[in-house]
Structure 1
C-alpha cells in the first residue's frame, strides 16, 4: 500500500499540471475543440450512414455553440458547421426536396446564430455568461436594498411586483440602517417592466450608496443631481424618502413627485394620508425637498408605495388611495406580519410595476 501511494501524484503536481493545461488550452478553447470534433464526427456519420443519422443532427453543436462560445469564436464555428454541412450534402445522392428544405433551414438558423454573435460582441461574453451576469447584478442590488435587521420593537417588509410578471421592474425599494436610524427610499423609475429594468438597476445601486452616505436632508437633492447627469431619454423618477429614528419613533418624510405616505394611528385605528410635496427627480436642477415630520407610537404603522398600487386607467389616484387604505384596514387588522405581501397581491394594476413598504412599531 505504501509503495502504491508513493507513485500517486501529489496535490502540488496535480495543481501544476492543471495550471499548465489551462495556460496551454484555455477553457473556452477546449469547449471549441470539443464542438469542432463533435461537428466533424456528425458530418462523417451523416456521410457514412445517411439512413440513420439525419442532417438536422448538425443543429445540436450549432445550438450548443450559441450558448457556450464567446462572440469571437462563435462566427467561425458557425462557418465551420455550414462547411461540414455543404461537404456532407455534396457526398450524398441527388438531393430530394426534403433534403433541400432541411439544408435551407440549417443555413438560416446558422445565419441567425451568427447575427446574435455580432450583437453579443458589444458585451464580449458568451450567451449564458451574459445572462448570468445580468441576473447576478440584479440579485446583488436587490440584496443591497433589503430591509436591514431592526430592533425587537419594529417590523418592516417590502414587496415588489413587475408589469407582466417579469423579474425586472422600474419600481424598487432601498433601505439602510445608519446607527439608530432607518433610511428607506421607494422609487418609481419612468417606464414599465423590462423597459425600465435596466435604468432601475443602475439607479438602485446609486441610490443605495447615497442613502447610507448622506444626511437625510441631502439625499433627494443628491439623487436629483445624479439623474440629471445621466442624459436618459426618460431620465426622471419619483421617490419618497423615510428617515425613521428607531429609538423615539420620530420620522421625516420627503417626497419627489411621489404618491403620499399613509400612517395608521393605533389610538384611533384610522389611516391618515401624509401630504408631502417636491418636484420629480431628474427634471429641475437645484430642487428643494421639504420634510414632513411626525412620530410613530406603539401600534402605529406606515405605508410607502408606488402609483401602481393605487392608480389605473379607469381610476383616479385619490380614489385608489382610499381603496388601498380600506384594504389595509381589512387585511392588516390585528396582524402586520406578511401584510405587505397581502396588500400587493390584492391591489394595484397587473399592467404596472408595484412596490410597497410596510413599517410597524409593535
Structure 2
C-alpha cells in the first residue's frame, strides 16, 4: 500500500480515556478526584464486604493525601474521608471495642493531618512539593560553597557539618573566582542547625552575590548593611573573607567577629594564627573592616573555619584553636588533598554547626 493511502493507526482505549480525563478534570484537581473515587470505593467495600475490607483501609487515602494534595484541598478531603468513615461504621455487623479503637485512631490521625494542612496553608504547597523546595534550596547552598576551578598549583576544599546531622546549617561557605583572584567567605549565622538554616538560606544568596559583584574591600561593609536591613530577632553573623591572588599568592584577610585564620608556612612546618579584627555583621552601622595582608608561598596552607570547630561549652576558644592546629599538624602532614574532610570529622562540637575551608599552594 502506498504511503498516500495509508490510514493513521487509531489511538488505544487507554490513551482515549486518559485524554478524556484530562479534558474533563483540571490538572490541579486530578489527584483529588482520584482520591475521592478511591475513598468512595473503600466506603462501598467496607459497607458491602465488611469481612474482607477492614475500617483501617481508610488510612490509605488519608496518608497519600497528606503527601500529594495542596493544603486547601487537603483540609476538605480529610473532612470528606472522616464523613464517609462515620457513615459506614454503623453498617458493621458487630460494633466491638476493637472497631471503636480503630475509629478513634483514624479520627485522631485525620485530625493530625488536618492541623498540618493549616500550617502548610501559610507556605501554599503540599508535603512532597514543600520538601522538594527545601531540598533544592539546600542544594543551592552546597553548590555556592563549591570551590571554582583553580590553576594546577592551587588546591582548595570546603566541608560543612550541621548540628544533629540535619541537612540545614547556619554555617556556610561561598566562593567565586574573578579572573586571577579567588574570593571566599566563611560565614556563621547566629543560632545553629535547622533554626539558623532558614536565615542562612537567605543570607547565602545575598553573600554570594555581593562576593562576586563588589571589590574585596567593600564586601564585608555591604554584607553588614544588608544584615542591618533585615530586622531579624537574631540578626547577626560572623564572617571571614579571603581575597587571594592566584598568580602571586598575595592575600588579604578581613574578619567580622570571626575566629582567626591559620597559616602553615612550609619553611618552618608550623601553623600560626593570623589575628584579624572587625565588628560582627549586623550590629554596628557604618562598620569598617581592615585587611591583614600576606603571601602564600609554595607548600603553604591556610585554614578558615567557624567556631563550632574550636569552641565548646567546657573549652575556651583559644584552647580549641590549639587543639585544632595540633590535629591539623598530625592529619595534614605532607598530604592536603582530602584533608578538610579528615579534619572536620576528627574535631569540633557535634552539637554545633561546623564549616571549614582548606587552601594549599602546591
TM over 0.5: yes
In the other structure, the counterpart of 2:9 is 8
Task: Give the 5 Å matches for 1:186-335.
Answer: 186-335=186-335
From the superposition, tell whether residues 288 and 83 of structure 1 become closer, same or farther in structure 2 (CA, over 3 Å). same
In the other structure, the counterpart of 2:37 is 37
In the other structure, the counterpart of 1:59 is 59
Are the counterparts in 2 of residues 223 and 281 from structure 1 also a CA contact under 8 Å? yes
RMSD between aligned residues: 2.0
In the other structure, the counterpart of 2:161 is 161
Give the superposition deviation at 1:355.
0.5
Residue correspondences, number: 358
Are the counterparts in 1 of residues 144 and 173 from structure 2 also a CA contact under 8 Å? no
In the other structure, the counterpart of 1:360 is 360
Structure 1: stretches of 5+ with no match in the other structure: none
Are the counterparts in 1 of residues 249 and 297 from structure 2 also a CA contact under 8 Å? yes
Give me the TM-score of the superposition, normalised by structure 2.
0.95
From the superposition, tell whether residues 56 and 236 of structure 1 become closer, same or farther in structure 2 (CA, over 3 Å). same
Q: What's the CA shift string for 1:88-128, capped at 9, x where partnerless?
A: 11222352111111111111111111111111111111111
Provide the rounded CA distance (Å) in 2 between the counterparts of 1:315 and 1:189: 21
SS of the residue corresponding to residue 121 of structure 1 reads: helix
Are the counterparts in 2 of residues 145 and 208 from structure 1 also a CA contact under 8 Å? no
SS of the residue corresponding to residue 72 of structure 1 reads: helix
Q: What's the CA shift string for 1:168-216, capped at 9, x where partnerless?
A: 1111000000111000000000001111011111111110000000000
Q: What's the CA shift string for 1:224-274, capped at 9, x where partnerless?
A: 001011111111000000000000000000000000001111111111110
Q: What's the CA shift string for 1:69-104, capped at 9, x where partnerless?
A: 001211111111111111111222352111111111
Are the counterparts in 1 of residues 145 and 158 from structure 2 also a CA contact under 8 Å? no
Give me the TM-score of the superposition, normalised by structure 1.
0.95
SS of the residue corresponding to residue 6 of structure 1 reads: coil
